[in-house]
Amino acid sequence: MFGAMQDWPLRLGRLFDHVAREHGTREIVSYQADGGTWRSNWAEAVADARRFAQALERLGIRPGDRVATLATNHLRHLIAWFGTIGMGGVLHTINPRLFDDQLAYIANHAEDRVLLYDPAFAPLVERLKPRLASIEHYIPLDDAFNALLVAEDGDYRWVEGDERAPAMLCYTSGTTGNPKGVLYEHRSTLLHMMGQVQPDVFNFSARTVTFPITPMFHANAWGLPFAAASVGAKLVLSMVNDPSVLHRLMIEEAVTHSCAVPTIWLAMLQHIEREGGDFGKLAMISCGGSAAPRAMIAEYLDRNIQFAHLWGMTELSPIGTVCALPADWDERDREARLDFVTKQGRTPFGVELRVVDEGGRELPRDGRASGRLQVRGPWTVDRYFQDEKGVCTDPDGWFDTGDVAVLHPDGMLQLTDRAKDVIKSGGEWISSVDLENAAIGCAGVAEAAAIGVSHPKWDERPLLLVVRKVGSEVDEEEVRTYLSTKVAKWWLPDAILFVDTLPHTGTGKLLKTALREQYRDYKLPDT
């Protein structure tokens, strides 16, 4: 027996109709690379998206075909999103910061038929062209794009279809192996959006002025263009990420909500400390990508701005947890508030979390047991694009995030390490991140990296690599004595080596794979 409510598939075209109809005059502001500011609104953007859908059909693009973008945050990029999705295509955002090999691999693997790109990326596109096998139409997002729109009448109804049909595609830039594509559905995107606007996630209303600094090529700007459309928020986009431009837009456009990675929020604070001024009407920051420092969060809280940590992944559309305010927020003093908001937060309905041991058995949510973090839900990846087999090999459909975490009894998530970096000693886990953070507190230590080195009895034991601060002569004994006051005795490294530099990835993270390779045959002192 089925229920008796309407059959109304969760298709993104219905969202575009909704915002054009209910919030058509609400503004979209786009700060362009040339310093100009374009002002449009949801009704106009959706009308242009209809024209772009017609243009794509005229080019022979069909539902399911991939239309790629190499673009920053701006109005035409948004129109390209809505138009492609509305005609049943798959909008594939490509991160222009990747290496040429990765870019070519991604576009070929996705079998993109169209590539839209910012004029600034023209040299990159020219360089890549000989290596791109499937692209038939190269369209710069300038007057050429405009000419496509002008040629159409906009009398167009969105393509209907199954709510599980694909709408967007985004590749993860993993540190190992080839990038993997996550193929978002109409349904998954809309459920994510409905979860996202609630008070304990992004808290979006018709009074919101949202300014996603997060790139549109990075997990769909965390889905914010859709969230803004659903409530009729004013949307501010900027092609330029210079703190002075960002700050000016925040003030001039009366931004209330913004989101970015911690480095942006640090740069914004430094800008204001240097230049003066304040954050205007900014009421809420969503911050993800990596953990934000406590001292920086404190500065925002002291300015009466809510600072919400977000943990997510491309594979999660991207929202996993958000550190929204707890029930007892009003009763907490400043330090107790900071203790709370430095954690990764809790899951909204639609994300299930668990931690498991190496045998796949669920661990208690006791704030102590550390294990592999797994996720399940309607906006969690099932399989990567073009893969026959799902990534969720667990029989109950859990996706393994590759993170190691602790879950607290109140549902709070605390990330400890990446699974591949954890040091496995005698059946117990040592967090390489915790060990490194402890070592950095020792006077004279500039940077530290902890890796597991094989050990005949304990399986692995920690090796700590230390870069001294300029002029420091800190030695192994001093570091060891300091560490013994900070971590459990069995966590103490079996060896501490001093090195001149440590290898890093393009985004500044420690390249542990290289270190593990380099020290694979290292013999620990007592073996």
- Which CB atom, from 201 or from 483, has the smaller least distance to its own copies? 201
State the nearest-atom distance from the C-beta of 439 to its own copies, in Å: 35
Tokens of 212: 């996603």
Q: Which amino acid is at 317?
A: S
Nearest distance from residue 60's CB to its own copies, in Å? 17
Can you tell me whether residue 105 is helix, strand or coil?
helix
Q: CA-to-CA distance for 175 and 506, rounded, in angstroms?
A: 10
Which residue, 64 or 293, is less far from its own copies as judged by CB?
A: 64
Q: Provide the minimum distance between the beta carbon of 349 and its own copies in the complex, in angstroms, as a whole number.
A: 4
Work out how close the CB of 172 gets to its own copies at its nearest, in angstroms, rounded to a whole number. 13
Q: What is the rounded distance in angstroms from the CA atom of residue 109 to the CA atom of residue 66?
A: 11
Tell me which residue has tokens 């969760």: 10
- Cβ nearer to its own copies, comparing 8 with 488: 8
Nearer to its own copies, 69 or 314 (CB): 314
CB of 182 to its own copies, least distance (A): 7
* Closest CB 218 distance from its own copies, rounded Å: 18
Question: From CA 378, how far away is CA 89, in angstroms rounded?
Answer: 21
**Where do we find the tokens 């954690």?**
343
d(Cα 516, Cα 527) in Å, to the nearest integer?
Answer: 18
Asked whether 268 and 246 are in contact (CB, 8 A), the reply is yes
Pairing of strands 399-407, 370-376: antiparallel
The CA-based diameter of the chain, rounded to the nearest angstrom, is 78
- Cα dihedral sign, 489-491-494-499: negative
Cis peptide before 318 (omega within 30 of 0): yes
**Which CA distances in Å does 421 have to 202, 362, 416?**
31, 21, 10
User: Is the CB of 207 or the CB of 420 nearer to its own copies?
Assistant: 207
Residue with tokens 């920053």: 72
Catalytic residue numbers read 172, 315, 424, 429
CB of 207 or CB of 294, closer to its own copies: 207
DSSP element (H, E) containing 440: helix 432-440
